Amino acid sequence: MMRLDPIAAPSPARTLGLPALAILATIALAAGLAAIAGANPLETFGLIVKGAVGSRFATLETLNRATPLIFTGLAVAVAFRARLWNIGAEAQLYAGALMTVVIGTQLGLPGPLAIPLMALGAIVAGALVLLGPVLLKTRLGVDEVVTTLLLNFIMALFISYLLEGPLKDPMGMGWPKSPALPRDARLPRIVEGLRLHWGFALALICAAGVWVMQTRTTLGYEIRAVGQNPQAARFAGIPVGRVLVKTALISGGLAALAGFSEVAGLKGNLTSDLSPDFGYTGIIVAMLALLHPLGVVVSALFVAGIFVGADSMSRAAEVPTYIADILLAAALLFMVLAILLTRYRVVRG
């Protein structure tokens, strides 16, 4: 029989060594798979790195791909800190994208007015999407994992319906897509001529903001207390239910900004494939960052780099792009295991 014994004060060798070991294990696994696919592992990794950051174009592509992941990663990190298991960043992202398109295309506002209003509308929409599951949790004890997860599918079908019906672009040649935002309602590029929009800057600002919120404000303190020990938090007079609702509003709003930034910064319209699972990948991003908001930026860049790099690698070598998914899944599993083993030791008997 095997048991887990908690370690009161893990040594630095454990806290630093095990995550490093997790990364090495991930690389070793991927190298094995590349070899099975008939490619030279070292060459494969070289191509992934080159594809991710090997040129100005590649780097900008990685930054663009990281932008929505920073938002969804932050959304998950904020919620998970309070042990609010928001699996529905995907739905909140689409709610934000939808609101962005509706405000941007239906109200006919001038750009300088439309852009902040679109962002604000997106935040409100995303927050409202998460509010329902959280109220069900705090009032009735309904498990939010189930409700937030299922809302993803409801939202996907709702978006499909809108894109086939009321929101369908009349000029879209029959494709299920929304009308495009007017030029002046798009997020400008950070540097003219480079394909990187202000959504990326907004993501960095949000990460810094979340970090300040968590470490410097009473709300951040409340969120951490509720997440670590709701019983002690309640006893100490922290309004646990209200803290969870506030957490949900922040989390949903952040996820919705991913939708806003993709529509207003990159795509210009809403389609049902706007997000290739940015919401779910946000969970991986947040976990790899150990829920630290600044770590989310780093891990989002890492994850985006692997995706972008693997795309380019698969064009050059004969290794399927699925290796990116395997790399991320393995990285997550090894990292979770490493976290477990820093805090517990396996004892036989």
Partner 1 sequence: MTDQDTAQGETVLRLSGITKRFGALTANDAISFSLAKGDVVALLGENGAGKTTLMNILFGHYTADEGMVEVFGQALPPGQPGAALAAGVGMVHQHFTLADNMTVLENVLLGTGSLWSPGLGKPAARRKLQALAQDFGLLVDPDARVAELSVGERQRVEILKALYRDARILILDEPTAVLTPQEADALFLTLRKMVEQGLSVIFISHKLHEVMAISSRVLVLRHGKLVGETATKATDRHQLATLMVGAEIEAPAPAEARPGAVLMRLDGVSTAPQGNRPGLKAVDLELKAGQILGLAGVSGNGQGALADLISGLEAPASGRLEIAGHPVTGWSPRSALLSGIGRIPEDRHRTGTVADFSLTENAVLESYRDAPIARAGWMDWAAARRATEAIITKYDVRCPGPEARIRLLSGGNMQKLILGRVLEAAPRIILANQPVRGLDIGAVTYVQEQLIAARDAGAAVLLISEDLDEILTLSDVIRVISGGRLSPEFARGEKTPAELGQWMAGQGFDHAA
Residues within the interface to partner 1 (CB under 8 A): 8-9, 216-222, 224-225, 228-229, 231-239, 348-349
Of 1 and 140, which CB lies nearer to partner 1 in the complex structure?
1
Of 91 and 226, which CB lies nearer to partner 1 in the complex structure?
226
Tell me the closest approach of the beta carbon of residue 221 to partner 1, in angstroms. Answer: 6
Of 191 and 231, which CB lies nearer to partner 1 in the complex structure?
231
Tell me the closest approach of the beta carbon of residue 245 to partner 1, in angstroms. Answer: 16
Contacts 24+ apart (CB under 8 A), 272-277: 272/156, 272/159, 272/160, 272/163, 272/176, 274/93, 274/94, 274/97, 275/68, 275/90, 275/93, 275/94, 275/97, 277/90
Tell me the closest approach of the beta carbon of residue 349 to partner 1, in angstroms. Answer: 4
Of 38 and 218, which CB lies nearer to partner 1 in the complex structure?
218
Of 238 and 338, which CB lies nearer to partner 1 in the complex structure?
238
Tell me the closest approach of the beta carbon of residue 149 to partner 1, in angstroms. Answer: 27
Is the Cβ–Cβ distance between 26 and 330 less than 8 Å? yes
Contacts 24+ apart (CB under 8 A), 321-326: 323/30, 323/33, 323/34, 323/37, 323/44, 326/29, 326/30, 326/33
Question: DSSP H helical segments within 107-197, as ranges?
Answer: 111-135, 144-164
- Residue of 205, 247, 201 whose CA lies nearest to 222: 247
Tell me the closest approach of the beta carbon of residue 34 to partner 1, in angstroms. Answer: 40
